[in-house]
Structure 1
Amino acid sequence: MTTSDHKVSRFPVPDLADMPEDIRERILAVQEKSGFIPNVFLTLAHRPDEFRAFFAYHDALMEKESGLTKAEREMIVVATSNLNQCQYCVVAHGAILRIRAKNPLIADQVAVNYRKADITDRQKAMLDFAVKVSQSAYAVGDADLEILKSHDFSEEDAWDIAAISAFFGMSNRLANVTSMRPNDEFYTLGRG
């Protein structure tokens, strides 16, 4: 049995034809670029206003120019999503990480134990901070920001790391509650 034999979500998923035009257009553009529709788009289309807000914030965090590379942003998602036991995000963002890092091994290493992954000390410091934000944000203090600073992360970079971790904490919880299934396509992307 493949994941495509399962429901995308335990909540209703609207038909593409019944979605608001702006959402349908965004989904079709993603399908054209990737060759398939990631299930997160279908699942979140159940609540159009929240779909728009979710993807607006997602894009603001994940697509802008900053001191973090796009691959590093995906590392944050993969490492924290693993701790939050979010199968969808580990699989989907693991695929994106493999593509952006041009490394077929990196996503599995980061998901299982980033401290032993083939990444830089700077990236490990970034992930230490992201994990702390994800799992115990109440304990973040000035010393954590000083560690980032010692690895040449700016104050704005620290904000980005925290915001990505926090945003995907919400996303992980929603994916788990909806029982969102990773698309089969994600499992092989960036591996060959």
Structure 2
Amino acid sequence: MSQTSITTKAKVKKLKVEEATGIVKDIFLDIKSKKGSVPNLFKTYAHKPEILRATWNKMSSVMKDALLPKKLKKLAALRVSVLNKSKYCINAHYNGLKQIGYPSEVLDQVKAGAYELLTEVEARILNFVDKATNNYADLSKDDFDKLALKEEELLELIAVIDLFSGLNRVTAILEIEKD
């Protein structure tokens, strides 16, 4: 297997959508139908079709509207990405939240860790996200009591933290350029 020399900042080149074939093309079409375009993260993962498929399936499953609304999950994903200093994911979630109606003023506050402009539920969840993302060993019974989520809702929230903590690292380590 030959290695490709990379001349850009990225560690792995993106596969162009028009170059995709087989399973990658099918996944790209699904991504495009749901997101409107194929983000650079997925173009990068395209070199490993099974990882691409697993990542897309996990993201689709975790981020769908379920017990926790999708917009709340996107807020949590933004906050996780801020805590992990992932420029790629911060950009993606910030823009996605703006598209669904969150004002820049509110999102800038979320980025700063200030939740006064959010609903009580949103603030409670993001306060938990703050601790669970990087200080999870310090979580106490009181943290879970304050969160006041049912078991299934808690699992959805933890899945968002897990998904984006991993993707934050991938995009940072590989220096994937913002979409």
Residue 28 (structure 1) aligns with: 29
Following superposition, the deviation at residue 12 of structure 1 comes to: 2.9
**Closer/same/farther in 2, CA of residues 46 and 125 from structure 1, 3 Å limit:** same
Bigger mean CA offset, 82-91 vs 23-32: 23-32
Q: Does 1:50 align with 2:46?
A: no
Q: Alignment partner of 2:135: what SS?
A: helix
Q: Residues 35 and 57 from structure 1, CA distance in 2 versus in 1: closer, same or farther, beyond 3 angstroms?
A: closer
User: How far, CA to CA, are the matches of 1:121 and 1:90 in structure 2?
Assistant: 23
Instruction: Answer yes or no: is 1:169 the counterpart of 2:165.
Output: yes
How far did residue 62 of structure 1 move?
Answer: 0.2
Q: Please give the root-mean-square deviation of Cα atoms over the aligned residues, in Å.
A: 2.2
Q: How many residues align?
A: 172
Q: How does 1:62-101 map to 2 (within 5 A)?
A: 62-66=63-67, 68-100=68-100
Task: Tell me the amino acid that sits aligned with residue 11 of structure 1.
Answer: V
1:160 equivalent in alignment to 2:156: yes
5+ residue gaps, structure 1: 1-5, 184-192
Matched residue, 2:142: 143
* Residues 128 and 65 of structure 1, relative CA distance in 2, 3 Å threshold: same
* Structure 2: gaps (5+ residues): 1-6
1:10 Cα offset (Å): 1.9
How far 1:71 moved relative to its partner?
A: 1.0
Letter in 1 for 2:153: D
Secondary structure at 2:115's aligned position in 1? helix
Aligned residues with identical type, % of pairs: 23
Equivalent residue letter for 1:80: V
Indicate how the Cα distance of structure 1 residues 8 and 32 shifts in structure 2: closer, same or farther if over 3 A, else same: farther
Post-superposition offset of 1:140: 1.9
- Determine the C-alpha separation between the residues in 1 that align with 2:163 and 2:138: 18
Aligned residue number for residue 179 of structure 1: 175
Task: Give per-residue Cα distances to partners, 1:18-58, cap 9 Å, x unaligned.
Answer: 54523212323444565543111111112211111111111
**Aligned amino acid, residue 146 of structure 2:** I
Q: Give the Cα–Cα distance (whole angstroms) in 1 for the partners of residues 163 and 56 of structure 2.
A: 11
